[in-house]
Amino acid sequence: MMRFAGRSALVTGAGSGIGRACALAFAREGAGVVCGDRSDAGATVALIEAAGGRAVACTMDAGADEDVAGAVALAVERFGGIDVVHANAGISGGLASLFEQSADDWAEILRVNLIGPFLAIRHAAPVMAAAGGGAIVCTASVAGLRSGAGGAAYSASKAGVINLVQTAAQQLSGSGVRVNAVCPGLIETGMTAMVYDQARQSGKEGRIGRLNPLRRGGEAEEVAKVVLFLASAEASYINGQAWAVDGGLSSSHPFTRQDYGRTAV
């Protein structure tokens, strides 16, 4: 399939994990890809080019206004426009309780995880609308659907992303720009590496993802397939939605409660 032939995409957080998987997938299907990341996304670009694709690296802070504007401008300069944005960059903030994090901790998590997607929409949507339309997919999380799947600040930021795409879809009414979110569950990425490493070192790898009905963790490529679908013409009537890719975890969200006054473990 070449669903994005002749089109361009900006992926933030493209240096690793879900972002890299999505950047590679967009390129495989014909898109010219701007690979944005706070660290060097050159390795992702090298993989794309080695496979015959088109890509350019962009060092950026997804929560900085001028950086996001520059990434959108780079897509227009290099590829003649911007058709797709995957606002994926995010940070976890760990599993500390409400009482173990400061206002500064929360501000940074919200800046990257929520203000970042806002900036992507703010800067890319007008360019897309002027060209007749486009698609924006934001990475939220099952942690944004209800409690029990992440730390308090992280969960709040991802809940904000879900509401953001709903609000943006409404405010872009008539523009031809669709805005949706993908909500990953437990996916093996750099963000979750500690969980996977500890399980493997203790011989408990088989317990990874045991709380979801599929009884396993997910892979970044499985999320990428959903992101590409939501960004494609196949999803032309899907707008303002949040799709869970979690093995069924969010159908129940079982978890062990953290008692007040106890340190998260």
Residue boundaries of the structural domains of the chain: 8-244
Whole-prediction pTM? 0.90
CA separation for the pair 59, 210 (Å, rounded): 37
Higher pLDDT, 210 or 213: 213
182: amino acid identity, one letter: V
Residues making up the chain, counted from first to last: 265
Question: Is the model's pLDDT at 236 over the cut of 60?
Answer: yes
CA separation for the pair 10, 41 (Å, rounded): 12
How high is the pLDDT of residue 265? Answer: 44
The dihedral sign for the CA sequence 205, 207, 212, 216: positive
> Is 196 a known active-site residue?
no
- Once rounded to an integer, what is the mean pLDDT over residues 58-87? 98
How high is the pLDDT of residue 214? Answer: 81
For residue 158, count other CB atoms closer than 10 A to its CB: 28
- Once rounded to an integer, what is the mean pLDDT over residues 146-159? 89
- Once rounded to an integer, what is the mean pLDDT over residues 233-262? 83
CA separation for the pair 242, 181 (Å, rounded): 4
Question: Is the model's pLDDT at 200 over the cut of 90?
Answer: no
Task: Give the CATH fold of the 8-244 domain.
Answer: Rossmann fold (3.40.50)
Average the pLDDT over each of 93-102, 113-122, 208-217 and give the range with the smallest value.
208-217
- Once rounded to an integer, what is the mean pLDDT over residues 102-118? 97
Quick one: DSSP state of residue 239?
-
Name the residue with tokens 């999320």.
223
Phi first, then psi, for residue 36 (nearest 5°) are -95, 140
Average the pLDDT over each of 43-52, 93-102, 208-217 and give the range with the smallest value.
208-217
How high is the pLDDT of residue 191? Answer: 65
CA separation for the pair 35, 55 (Å, rounded): 7
The separation between CA 227 and the C-alpha centre of its own chain, rounded to angstroms, equals 9
How high is the pLDDT of residue 249? Answer: 86
Tokens (6 digits) for 193: 């590496």
Q: Which of 154, 196, 237, 260 is catalytic?
A: 154
Helix, strand or coil for residue 27?
helix
Strand 134-139 vs strand 84-87: parallel, antiparallel, or unpaired? parallel
